[in-house]
Amino acid sequence: MNLLRTLIATALLFPSLAFGQDDNTDFVPLFNGHDFSGWIRTNTPESTWSYQDGLIVCTGKPIGEIRTEKMYQNFILEVEWRHMVPGGNAGIFLFADDITARGVPFHRGIEVQVLENAYGNARSHTTHGDIFPIHGAKMVPINGRGGDRAFPTENRSNPSPEWNHYRITANNGEVTLAVNGKVVTQGQQCSPRKGYICLESEGGVVQYRNMRIKELPETPVPVEEIAIANRGYESIYSGLDLRGWRTRDTANHTWHSRDWVLAHDSPAADRNSLVYDTVLGDFGFVIDFKLNQSDSVFALELASAESAEDHAPILFYTTANQDEKLVIPGQWNRLEGEVIGSELTISLNGQAMERQHTLKNLSAKRHLTVTAGGPIDLANLYLRKID
């Protein structure tokens, strides 16, 4: 009995020993214990993530992610997590790009699932530590079911509000997951296999503690297997409200914050604009848009806060019919570009646009302005400064 008490006490004081992981050398914390230095709030505001009594707490709102400033290739990652609400959803992403993928609030990468048991198990998923590629990433699963998702060989996850321990090992494109002390899920041939580590906010209130990493020796990796590195983009939409933006017309109630989607609804003939408060110099931008009706209109402009719409230099304008070869009606499109001085370059869905030109009538106090007619959705609104 005394021996049992000793073992239990040791497990509580030294959880890594309880899980058979007695090599504590070269591990470093991924969080400093009091703020989010070393992490980027990719598309979630400050209120989504906080420290409470030494724990990292995620509200689950809005849907989105936070990522490391540093890229990782080969490593051992340990973390303890628990959901505070039954049926909660979250995840840990590996080898992620710098910003989220087109038309979704998540990065391209390899996801290690963090689901609470009450979410339910099905043939398509479990709540005990699935690993799978997402939004353009690739992986060959071990213990798969015909797709690209790796399933655990045992059900070892504890229900809310109990703690769970994950040990994720990534080495030369292979990923293994130990749930509460035993390896149960494996994948190989990951692409990318070097990138950022992310924590996911997806509706569930989830807590983390004791998150640490041990880097392993790097192995040769082709350039195409490395995620997109940091380009300096910052999100300009909170996912919770229209903070940082204002409408031209104070009576305008056609723009709505719907979690990670910024939505507009009005007849196509009724054009409405949102002005980003910050004055811009040279900048780069990314905006995803979806035209939800055949006559929907979307325009991106550079205007002074007070100027009329028809005097603003237009960066991009489209309807579902105008650019049918590039714009995909009813689906997400990604607009990317740069404004340097008065010169604009722009691409749509990865293809350079012919409408590259010199902008005229630029205001000294220029603001990014989005104008819509008809129902459209916007997402993944990012800006970066260009010095």
pLDDT digits (tens, 9 = 90+) for 324-366: 556 877 899 999 999 998 899 999 999 888 655 678 777 778 8
Residue 9 has pLDDT above 50, yes or no: no
Query: At a CB cut-off of 8 Å and minimum separation 6, what does 91 contact?
Result: 111, 112, 113, 114, 199, 200, 202
78, 112: one domain: yes
Query: At a CB cut-off of 8 Å and minimum separation 6, what does 190 contact?
Result: 94, 95, 110, 133, 137, 138, 139, 170, 173, 174, 175
5, with CB counted inside 10 A (0-12, 13-18, 19+), is exposed
What CA–CA distance (Å, rounded) separates 77 from 60? 22
91, 157: one domain: yes
Residue 311 has pLDDT above 80, yes or no: no
Residue pointed to by tokens 């509460």:
180
Total residue count of the chain as it appears in this document: 387
199, 260: one domain: no
Query: Last residue of a domain, which of 167, 197, 227?
Result: 227
Task: Answer yes or no: are the C-beta atoms of 272 and 249 closer than 8 Å.
Answer: yes
Q: Which residues pair with 105 in a beta bridge?
A: none
191, 94: one domain: yes
Question: In terms of DSSP H, where are the helices of the chain?
Answer: 2-13, 15-18
Q: Which residues pair with 119 in a beta bridge?
A: none
Q: Token pair for residue 368?
A: 């990014």
pLDDT confidence tier of residue 7, bands split at 50, 70 and 90: very low
Query: Last residue of a domain, which of 175, 195, 227?
Result: 227
Query: Last residue of a domain, which of 227, 262, 293?
Result: 227
What CA–CA distance (Å, rounded) separates 96 from 108? 6
184, 77: one domain: yes
151, 265: one domain: no
Residue 32 burial (CB count, 10 A): 11
Structural domain count, the chain: 2
254, 338: one domain: yes
222, 243: one domain: no
CA 43 from centroid of its chain's CA atoms: 6
CA 233 from centroid of its chain's CA atoms: 12
**H helix or E strand, kind and range, residue 302:** strand 297-303
What CA–CA distance (Å, rounded) separates 137 from 247? 38
Express each pLDDT in 239-295 by its tens digit. Answer: 999 999 998 765 567 999 999 999 999 887 788 999 999 999 999 999 999 999 888
Query: At a CB cut-off of 8 Å and minimum separation 6, what does 193 contact?
Result: 73, 95, 170, 172, 173, 221, 225, 226
The CATH code of the domain that includes 104 is 2.60.120.560
Q: What percent helix, strand, coil does the chain show, rounded to 5?
A: 5, 45, 50
Express each pLDDT in 223-240 by its tens digit. Answer: 999 999 999 999 999 999
What CA–CA distance (Å, rounded) separates 48 from 61? 6
Domain residues for 168?
Answer: 2-227
Residue whose C-alpha is closest to residue 162's, from 86, 220, 83: 83
pLDDT for 325 equals 58
Residue 19 has pLDDT above 80, yes or no: no
Read off the pTM: 0.90
> What percentage of the chain carries pLDDT values higher than 70?
88
Residue 60 has pLDDT above 90, yes or no: yes
195, 256: one domain: no
Residue 144 has pLDDT above 90, yes or no: yes
Average pLDDT, the chain: 89
Task: Answer yes or no: are the C-beta atoms of 75 and 194 closer than 8 Å.
Answer: no
42, 130: one domain: yes
What CA–CA distance (Å, rounded) separates 380 from 193? 24
* Between residues 193 and 309, the one the model is more confident about: 193
Residue 297 has pLDDT above 70, yes or no: yes
What CA–CA distance (Å, rounded) separates 361 from 85? 54
Express each pLDDT in 96-110 by its tens digit. Answer: 999 999 999 999 999
Residue whose C-alpha is closest to residue 386's, from 330, 320, 339, 325: 339
Mean pLDDT of 171-197: 98
29, 115: one domain: yes
166, 266: one domain: no
For 69-204, where are the E strands, in sequence order? Answer: 75-83, 89-96, 109-115, 131-134, 138-142, 164-171, 174-179, 182-191, 196-201
Q: Token pair for residue 307?
A: 């100027």
Q: Is 232 left (phi over 0), alpha (psi -120 to 50) or beta?
A: left
